[in-house]
A and B are shown apart, each in its own frame.
Chain A
Amino acid sequence: MRKAATVQELPGVSQSKTEVRSPAFAWSDLASRLRPYLYLAPALICFALFFFYPIGSIIYLSFQDWSLINLEQMEWVGLQNYQDLMVDGDFHQVLGNTVVFTIATVGIGLTLSFLLALWLNKKAKVYGIIQATVFSPHIISLVSVSMLWMWLMDPQFGLLNAGLEAVGLPAYTWLTDPKSSLLSLIIVSIWKVVGYNTLIFIAGLQSIPGDIYEAAALDQSPWWRTLRRITIPMLSPTIFFLLIINTITSFQAFDTIAIMTQGGPINSTNMLVYYIYQQGMDFYNGGIASAASVILLILVGILTAIHFLVMSKRVHYR
């Protein structure tokens, strides 16, 4: 009896109901039905406590006036926090910075890594070494990456300005000038992300069947046409995946800002997560921070939804 019940659960085994069931209530049957839920329970409880409940909670908190100092004092203010954000010039700038940072990082980062992948996708050992080298910043703590680039970008003693001076160019302001600070963060982020993208692109390139290229070669298709007609369309799932992942990661930018600029000078590098952190943890505006979190959550949620929709469609024509 027990065996029949468990074999039935095997995927691939036909789900015939022919085995004889005892008329009495079968405890072992119930136990094996419950088993998968028991196995899932620890993980799902964690997700409920530290993911789904907080998502509900942040929406609730965004309608309250509250602060971390005294959590007992919560006051329902409806949409007031959102209205405050709408008219807050600083928040507009934060949104603008986030958008500029994201478009620049994702756009330049993806283009560079696509070109690198086309070039480095070769069997010889040296290409493997360069691939690993390009990838290495990705596994290093952003703390170290940030401090390293702060040192390279130091206006007086940094290597970048020493290099500029050596070739007769004027020193650059990098992080200290609101005109260049965001650009400096963009450079650091691209440096950090390019290796990861490149390796994902290479994995994508290697999954394209070789005979398509052979056919193209027989037709004497020029390389740019092969690229445009074969490589890019075949890579479109990879391009799309990286587009979504990179965008979500850019929205989350925090470590570089916290260590390199603290959002300054004059708010020029402040972005969404850092703004939420400042409002919540430094200025004790829990309500404002929550409302900004909900806006971020909606942005990331939309991207995730698009991702799922397109990816589930992709299953059909694959």
Chain B
Amino acid sequence: MYRVVLASRKTVEWIGLLIVGFLFVFPFLWMASTAFKTMPEVLQFPPTLLPETWEWSNFAQAWESGPFHMFTWNSILVAVGILILQFLTAVPAAYAFARYKFPGRNLLFGLVLIVLMIPGQVIFLPIYVQLSGWGLINTLWSLILPYAASAFGIFLLRQAFMQVPDEVIEAARLDNASEWKIMWTIMVPMAKPVLVTFGLFSFIYHWNDYFWPLIMTNSDEARTLPIGISSLHMSDGGTLWNVMMAGNMILILPILVIFFVAQRHIIKAFIYQSK
């Protein structure tokens, strides 16, 4: 009798897991399914689970509805450019916070924590005014420069650098290695897992970003994929859901691939925020 209760409890648990998994995965599967359907099939009732005829041309249609090669290229440039700049600014700053004692350290680190907590969306207007004064609106610079330094990156790397044993650095100093060299050839390689974690976080965040490119740009030359994709539903004469979903597949596929490959790192990157 006890065994039966145990078995049925397990069944209930499995059914529960399936339902939860379904709630979060199914919408994406529905997106994929719609992306391959013909328009009549999209509007059919009752809806079909899998496409009856696989309409690959939806992807071509989405891609050709705007200068998507340019949007994609801009997205890559912006996300990678931000990543490189954040790396170059965060490493020295984190090294200074982790390894030196100097007057004002706590105050300056407090400022970094404030930047970490207050979202940039709150102050986009003055940044817009400032960038337009510099003539940078509608350029990729307006998307990259405001994110050239990352408080989160400094915070994360500082913790990693603090964990490097003192002996390693002392040994290097005895060998007359310069501080600059110690930073880039000893600390950075030792913090590699954290750097990967941070890199994934930054890339995903800026690849997905919609708000900033929407504010700072208004011509195709400087716009990124999320903006291009979001303009798909403004077609006249009924929404082409299949083309829209195909476009969104183009936007999310790179991230999904990265997620499958580096799932543990990515989850760690996003969870690190809580520490």
Contact = CB atoms under 8 A, between A and B. Distances in A.
Interface of A: 3, 6-7, 9-13, 15, 33, 35-40, 42-44, 46-47, 49-55, 57-58, 61, 68, 71, 116, 119, 126-127, 129-130, 132-144, 147-152, 154, 156-157, 159, 162, 166, 191, 195-196, 199-200, 203-204, 238, 241-242, 245, 248, 252, 254-255, 258-259, 273, 276-277, 280-281, 286, 289-290, 293, 296-297, 300-301, 304, 307-308
Interface stretch (B1-9, B120-128, B188-196): B120-128
A176 to B, nearest CB: 13
Interface string B120-148: 11111111111011000000000001111
A241 B236 CA distance: 45
Given A10-B99, A304-B117, A140 B241 contact: no
Nearest to B30: A159
A184 to B, nearest CB: 14
Nearest to A197: B274
Interface string B61-88: 0000000000000000000000000001
A148 B149 contact: no
Contacts of B42: 157
B271 A199 contact: yes
A138 B39 CA distance: 29
A58 B126 contact: yes
Contact of B255 (A35, A51, A141, A156): A141
B238 to A, nearest CB: 10
A276 B125 contact: yes
Given A129-B21, A133-B24, 19 more contacts: A40-B97, A42-B89, A47-B115, A51-B118, A52-B111, A54-B127, A58-B126, A135-B267, A136-B25, A136-B28, A140-B208, A141-B208, A147-B244, A238-B274, A242-B274, A273-B121, A276-B125, A297-B123, A304-B117
Shortest Cβ-Cβ A-B pairs, 9 listed: A46-B149, A141-B208, A57-B126, A39-B92, A54-B126, A39-B96, A36-B96, A43-B93, A36-B100
A35 to B, nearest CB: 6
B210 A134 contact: no
B92 A3 contact: no
B251 interface: yes
B47 interface: yes
A116 B24 CA distance: 13
Contacts of B211: 254-255
Contact of A130 (B17, B90, B173): B17
Contact of A68 (B123, B128, B169, B208): B128
28 contacts: A6-B179, A9-B101, A10-B170, A36-B96, A42-B89, A42-B92, A44-B93, A44-B111, A54-B123, A68-B132, A142-B208, A143-B230, A143-B248, A147-B230, A147-B233, A148-B28, A148-B245, A151-B244, A152-B27, A157-B241, A162-B46, A191-B27, A254-B210, A258-B214, A276-B125, A280-B128, A293-B125, A296-B122
Contact of B102 (A33, A58, A143, A196): A33
Most buried by A among B90, B117, B166: B117
B251 A50 contact: no
Given A58-B125, A196-B270, A259 B230 contact: yes
B179 to A, nearest CB: 6
Nearest to B34: A151
Interface in B41-62: 42-43, 45-47
Interface string B201-214: 00010011111001
A130 B27 contact: no
A92 B32 CA distance: 40
Nearest to B148: A46
A144 to B, nearest CB: 4
B252 interface: yes
A43 B151 CA distance: 8
A49 B46 CA distance: 56
B273 to A, nearest CB: 7
Given A10-B170, A297-B118, A144 B259 contact: no
B111 A47 contact: yes
Interface in B213-227: 214-215, 226
Nearest to A33: B102
B102 to A, nearest CB: 5
Contact of B125 (A40, A53, A290, A304): A290
Contacts of A138: 270
Interface string B92-120: 11011101111001001001111101111
B15 interface: no
A139 B251 contact: no
Contacts of B156: none
Contacts of A159: 30, 47
Contacts of B147: 50
Contacts of B99: 9-11
A307 B183 CA distance: 32
A157 B20 CA distance: 24
Contact of A147 (B120, B173, B248): B248
Contact of B123 (A71, A195, A293): A293
A37 B100 CA distance: 10
B26 to A, nearest CB: 9
